[in-house]
Amino acid sequence: MVSNANIIKKLYFPRLIIPISSILVSLFDFLMALIVFIATLIYYQPDIQIFKILLFMPLGLLIATFTSFGGGTLLAALNIKYRDFQYVIPFFIQILLFVTPVIYPVSILPALWLKYVMALDPMYGAIELFRSGIINKPIDINLLIVSMCSACFFFNVGIYYFRKTEAYFADLA
C-alpha cells in the first residue's frame, strides 16, 4: 500500500485490488512450484493416493488464501496508519513461522489443550491438509475446524479493519 501511494492519491479504485494482486502473484508462484512438484511425483512414482491430494490440496490452498488475504489486508491497513509497523512485520512473520507446525507435526505435543492452542493458528489447517494429502496421515477434524474458524476470523477482521480505514489511505499515504 505504501509503495502504491501515488496511485492511491491520484485516482479512485477499489483499494482491495492491491492486496488481492499481491496474493494472486504468490498464488501463481505456488501453482508453478506445484507443477514442478507434480512432475517430480510422476518421475519418482511414490506410493501416494492421488484422490487425497486432489481432495485436500484445494481445501488447504483455500484456507491459506483466506488467511493470507485477511492477514495481508490487516497488516497493509496497519502499515498505512502506523508507518513504524513495517519494522515489526518481519519479526511477527518469523515468530509465526516457528509457531506454525511446518517442520514438526502437532501429534508430538503432549497435551490435548496445547494442540488446540496450536490449531488457533489459521495456517495449521492448511499445512495439515497438505501434509495428510501427501503422506497419508489422518486428520483430526476438530483441530481442522478450529483452524478453519480461526482463518475465517482473521479474514473477517482483516477485511473489516481495511474497509474501516481505507477512506483515510489517500490522506495517510
At residue 146, the pLDDT reads 95
Fill in the amino acid letter for 21: S
The closest alpha carbon to 122, from 93, 95, 158, 147, belongs to: 147
At residue 142, the pLDDT reads 94
Residue 115, φ and ψ in degrees, nearest 5 = -65, -40
What pTM does this model have? 0.83
Averaged pLDDT, groups of 10, the chain, 173 residues long: 63 77 92 90 84 87 93 87 84 87 84 90 91 85 94 95 80 54
> Residue 22, SS3?
helix
In terms of Cβ atoms closer than 10 Å to its own Cβ (0-12, 13-18, 19+), residue 148 is: buried
Domain layout of the chain by residue ranges: 5-172
In terms of Cβ atoms closer than 10 Å to its own Cβ (0-12, 13-18, 19+), residue 46 is: exposed
